[in-house]
Each structure stands twice: as C-alpha cells, then as structure tokens.
Structure 1
Amino acid sequence: MRGQLHVLAVDDEVHILELLRHTFEGEGFRVTCVGDADSAIHILETDVPDLVLLDVVMTGKDGYHVLQHITQGALGIPVVFLTARSENTEMAEALGLGADDYVTKPFSTQELLARVKGILRRVG
C-alpha cells in the first residue's frame, strides 16, 4: 500500500467512531470521523479519503445520500457500508447502488480491517 491511507468514518454512534478510529489508526491509517451525512459530504469535497466507512441509518440524511454524492460525482472512492441493517434486500440494494462491501453490526474489527485492506489493494 502507498503512504498513509485516509479513511472517512461516518456514523452517528460515537462509540462506533471511537472503535473505528482506534482500529484503523493502530494500523497506520489516517482517520477522519464525522457523525452525519452533511459533514461527510464536506470532507469528500475538501479532504478526499481513500475509502469511506458509512452507516446507513443516521440522524438527518442517510448513508445512501452520501453514496449517491460519491457515485454521481464519479469520485471513484470505495464505500463500505457498516450498519445494523442485516436484511438481504438492504444489502443487495446497497451493493447495487455502488457500495463495495456491506458489513453488519456487530462486527469484528479484524474482519473489517481485512476487508478494507483487500478493497484498497484492488483499487490502489
């Protein structure tokens, strides 16, 4: 992998953001954490990450709004949904709309890290 990779974590649960920050910074990633879709879009426009970890259900706009911003802007940033929603139809919809992976909560940080590293290897 090249240099320090930047991950944008978007979730309205502070404890999830803290866990993601600890996990990914421990592996040498630079991590930006935000709690809502509007803040995520601001980061996407000012400090483009290498990958986005994205919750579906958040206060205000949902994760699909952020995914739409990424795909319509042709930013080419990989997106991993990280969500409590485990329905197969929800997963299929997210992947069909352009998400690169879909991980349900609760999740293994080791597995999530491995999935993220795999995606970044493929796109990098």
Structure 2
Amino acid sequence: MSDPARLKIKIQIHSGDEIAMGPGKADLLDAIRQHGSISAAGRAMSMSYRRAWLLVDVMNRCWDAPLVQTAPGRAATSGARLTELGEAVLAHYRALQDSIAQATRGPDYDVLAARLLAVPRTSQKD
C-alpha cells in the first residue's frame, strides 16, 4: 500500500499550446502581489527575472485582459501589480485548487493511492 499523500493532482488551464495558469504561475501572482515587482517576486521564488517576466508575458497574452500591470522606472508608482482580472483569476484558480483538494478525500482517490507504487519498476517485466 502506498502513501496517499504522494498522489498529486495539479490544475493547468491552457490557451492554445500555452499554459495560461498553473500552480507555479499562481504562486508567482501571489509573490507579485506581496512584493510589488516582478524581479522581487522572482527572487523570492528563486527564479530569474527573465523567467518570471516570461511567465507574466504568457499569462498576459492568454487572457482577454492582462493579469499583471507593470510600470517601469524608479518612481513610487513603478513596479508591478495584479489587475482586477489578475486578482479574480487568482482567486478562482485558488478556489478550484481547494475544490480539487476536497475531491482527494474519497474512495476514488483512495483506490488510486493504494495501487500506486512507491517507485516505478525498472522494467515492465519486473
């Protein structure tokens, strides 16, 4: 019998071939909200600025309006913030995650957890 905690269900929302929202992007949005900039959010997540910016770019291109608004420069108004849509998408995504987490407390999840090996076999013939 395996440990049911090893079963991980993650939600990815796609727009075409791009991942418009997933767990990492949601965490990045939380970090941008907390730190007020893409670079600070990236640092907090041990991620390069370039990687963080590319993720924001994908998110902003996948929705009908941007999720993150940026203001360049060193003025008091510079940095990044979540737009109204960004706040809404993040809230709905987190609610969906909570709903899925509740679904993992049931017989279907338990059956899968019981049948899952702790580590894969080295060969199908083992």
Q: Which has the higher contact order (CA 8 A, sep 6+)?
A: 2
After TM superposition, the score normalised by the length of structure 2 is 0.26
Indicate the structure (1 or 2) with the bigger Cα radius of gyration.
2
After TM superposition, the score normalised by the length of structure 1 is 0.27
Normalized per residue, the structure richer in strand is 1
